[in-house]
Structure 1
Amino acid sequence: MKKLILGIAIVASAFVFGQKGDVNAKLQEVNKAAMDAYNAKNYTVAAPKFLEVYNLLKTSGQDDKIYMYYAGLSYALANNTDESIKIYTDLVNSGFTGVQTTYTAKEKKSGQVVNLDKATWELMKKNSDYSDFKTEQTASVEPDLYETLSTLLLNAKKSNEALVIIEKGLAKYPNNAKLKEAQATAYYDSGNTEKFIGALKEQLTKNPTDATNWYNLGVMQSKTPATVEDAIASFKKAIEVKPNFDNAHQNIVYTVIGDDSKIVDQINAARKDKPDEATKLIDARKERFTKALPYAEAWYKASPENLDAISTLKDIYVVTKNMDKIKELKAKEAELKAKVK
């Protein structure tokens, strides 16, 4: 059985940087170094520089956590998981949202819109040379904090800690699809099968065209004899959405066939002393392979260059004794293997 497909990646948020007018030369120098390193994708250098900016501002009485956020993001992009987790955890626990207010006004003479700090903006309202005074708030980065921290914790194999963050995030953002996906992953990683299946079903109710979730649901259902037919139905759904989904094709075939190596051992053990029982087992095995045949043929049709599909179908033809098809697939198999050499 193939491993569940649950790929999750960290995605960098849009980078916004605001230079304050009252910073000293040292702060300007560190700001520039941080920005230059980030823009050059030298995240290992950028991260501590952003922390230095934050600490310099904090020393002067400005607790501007946006620079902590930039540092955490840079550490994440530099694959320094431990440092990134520390920063993101602090930010989440502090209630940081990253929302900032920008202040603008238009110069009447030039028509140019200028950015101002709040105090200057208030003063300029009395200046007849300026008009169109506006304020605007930036978007919150809080959902990104929860999403990224959850991903970092999951990648660090800290699924229980991730669940705490995910549940806290979902309490604030109950419709966040990324957190829902992370929750399902955390349930799976922590061995909470029932909740994992429940999370998959919930996601599929909202998005029934998610082939990966149908596949993952099928994988879980195939582990229990009572839900094997449900598993087959789930794999079929995955294939309906994504016709060339090799893993779903393969799993539906092997789910129908069952644990064939175990059956073969039983047949071999029964041949000597219980030939009648062996015959029954052989007939039942052939029946399962016959039932799996159309699924294997569909897989081969969807992926005619896939050696696994060819080999699986060939094995089924061996059991069902279709010699012409065996010969055809052996030739196809040899042709593809020759191309690989």
Structure 2
Amino acid sequence: MKKQITIALAVSISAFSFAQKKELKEAEKAIKGNNYAEAKTALKQAESQLSEMDEKQKAQYYYLNAEALYANGAASMKDIDSALESLSKVQGDYVSESSDLKQSMVNGIIKKGNKFYEAKDFSTSSKYFEKAYRLSTKDTLFLYYAAATAVNVQEYDRALVLYEELKNLNYTGVEKQYFATNVSTGEEEILDKSTRELYVKAKSHTNPGERMTESKKPEIVKNIALIYISKGDDEKALKAIDEARAETPDDINLILSEANIYYKLGNTEKFKALLEKATQMEPNNPELQYNLGVISAESGHPEEATAYYKKAIELSPNYINAYINLAALILSKEESIIKEMNGLGSSKKDDLRYDELRGQRQDLYKQAVPYLTKALEIDDKNISAAKTLVNIYSILGEKAKHDELKVKVEALEAEAK
């Protein structure tokens, strides 16, 4: 009797083992045929028998389950996470296969990240680059890409976390770069070492060389500071700027950003000192003069802004934005005039004041016209400058100029469509 029970039990265990092998084999066959839905069905049936499987079968199950979930790169981010969880349970057998699959997943995720990047879907691209890094933490470059693409779509909170992680890892991104000059184009090209040597040997390239790339650490700490500025966290921003300036003490933009924070905090003395430092460092930099003009205008210093814009034009006569901003500064005075005009009564005194203010308003328009005209000469497709001029000519009663420019504006608007 005992012998019969033992035999029956042995037959039962054998039947379970046979069923498990059959379902795993079916899943494996379905995966090879790219039929992942069928593979998932077979694996679902095998899942209920996990407790009866030996270690090798369990390892095979978890490996095949990861393959089915990943679906050769067609998986969603959620399925990728599930596939990774399944791979983490593989022990003993299939460890080598799991390692290969994981690397294949990394490559596929990077490929998808690049695809989303090329489609300018920076948000999704960033998440794929981060996933690639989480899968292969030695590839810190992808953590950098994740942070940089997050900034592109102003996902500042997420970018900040990634940049802080890069900073804590002391990531620099410095690497050796190989280059040579293309004989047919005369342009320098960045190549991998073996390709460069092949091209030089074939005489299609000359002047081979190598150099170390610049560190990305200054950019990282700078972006951390700028994100804190955008969030209005002045205390952390100033601390981050101190770190950033320690990396790049001569970065004009950091000095300007710091100056702007001090202005917000009411520390005008520090604000002016930093502006003076910036101009001393690069007195002939038109972009710096322009940026100083922008900061001065935003900080409520129109006279200083005007001087900086004019200096930018002196250094670079075709600096179109300086002309436009000069016109904007002039026209910004219009608001207070209109406000007073609208508040006047109907007395004779008020009528006289109204006429006086109307004259002041027209004088502002006349002062702005040369700057807008010059901007339009530099860029004849600048619709913003053209529209403003059309409105000014209308108010000034210069019908011929208004009509001529209106035709141009309509043509530009039609072209934009």
TM-score, normalised via structure 2 length: 0.49
**292-301 or 311-320, larger mean C-alpha shift:** 311-320
Larger radius of gyration: 2
Q: Which has the higher contact order (CA 8 A, sep 6+)?
A: 1
CA distance in 2, matches of 1:288, 1:196: 30
Distance 2:322 2:230 in 1: 25
Amino acid at match of 1:165: A
Whole-angstrom CA distance in 2 between matches of 1:235 and 1:149: 29
**What fraction of aligned residue pairs are identical, expressed as a percent?**
23
Matches of 2:169 and 2:132, distance apart in 1: 21
Q: Counterpart amino acid of 1:281? A: L
Deviation at 1:232, TM superposition (A): 1.9
SS of structure 1 residue aligned to 2:325: helix
Counterpart of 2:329, as a letter, is T
SS in 2 for 1:92: helix
Gaps of 5+ in 1: 1-23, 55-66, 102-112, 114-135
Q: Kindly provide the amino acid, as one letter, of the partner of residue 147 in structure 2.
A: A
Query: In structure 2, which of residues 243, 253, 270 is the aligned counterpart of residue 181 of structure 1?
Result: 253
Change (3 A) 1:76 1:156: farther
Match of 1:281 in 2: 357
Corresponding residue of 1:306? 382
Kindly provide the CA deviation profile for residues 130-170 of structure 1, in whole angstroms up to 9, marking residues without a partner as x.
Answer: xxxxxx99975543542454455556665643432221232
CA contact (8 A) 2:112 2:128 kept: no
CA distance in 1, matches of 2:309, 2:380: 19
Could you tell me which residue of structure 1 aligns to residue 140 of structure 2?
Answer: 69
Alignment of 1:124-203 (within 5 A): 142-150=217-225, 153=228, 160-175=235-250, 177=251, 180-182=252-254, 184-185=256-257, 188=260, 191-192=264-265, 194=268, 199=274, 202-203=277-278
**Correspondence for 2:106:** 34
Could you list the per-position Cα deviations for residues 248-275 of structure 1 after superposition, in whole angstroms to 9, with x for gaps in the alignment? 3232123224432431342354462113
Question: Are 1:44 and 2:127 matched, yes or no?
Answer: yes
Partner of 1:215: 290
1:187-266 maps to which residues of 2 (within 5 A)?
188=260, 191-192=264-265, 194=268, 199=274, 202-208=277-283, 210-222=285-297, 227-240=301-314, 245-266=319-340
Structure 2 CA distance for partners of 1:207 and 1:228, relative to 1, 3 Å: same
Name the one with the larger helix percent: 2
Question: 2:285·2:315 contact (CA, 8 Å) conserved in 1?
Answer: yes
Question: What one-letter code is carried by the residue in structure 1 that aligns with 2:110?
Answer: Y
2:199 match: none
* 2:146–2:162 CA contact under 8 A, matched in 1: no
**Amino acid corresponding to residue 134 of structure 2 in structure 1:** L
Q: For the structure 1 residues 316 and 51, does the alpha-carbon distance in structure 2 shift closer, same or farther, using more than 3 Å as the test? A: closer
The residue type paired with residue 309 of structure 1 is: A
CA distance in 2, matches of 1:137, 1:223: 40
**Gap change, CA 1:170 and 1:77, over 3 Å in 2:** closer
Tell me the amino acid that sits aligned with residue 359 of structure 2: D
> Using the alignment, how far apart are the partners of 1:206 and 1:241 within structure 2?
15
Tell me the distance in 2 between the aligned counterparts of 1:49 and 1:151.
Answer: 26
> Counterpart of 2:289 in 1: which secondary structure?
helix
Which amino acid in the other structure matches residue 236 of structure 2? E
* Paired letter, 1:69: T
Return 89-98 or 288-297, whichever deviates more.
Answer: 89-98
Aligned pair in 2 of structure 1 residues 30, 204: CA closer, same or farther (>3 Å)?
Answer: farther
The 2-side partners of 1:189 and 1:53 are apart by 39
Structure 2 distance, partners of 1:320, 1:100, is 61
8 Å Cα contact 1:235/1:249 also seen in 2: yes
Once superposed, what is the RMSD of the aligned Cα atoms?
A: 4.4
- Shifted more, 232-241 versus 191-200: the winner is 191-200
Distance 1:327 1:50, change over 3 A: closer
Is the CA contact (8 Å cut-off) linking 1:34 and 1:47 kept in structure 2? no
Counterpart Cα distance in 2 of 1:98 and 1:222: 37
* 2-structure distance, mates of 1:315, 1:34: 57
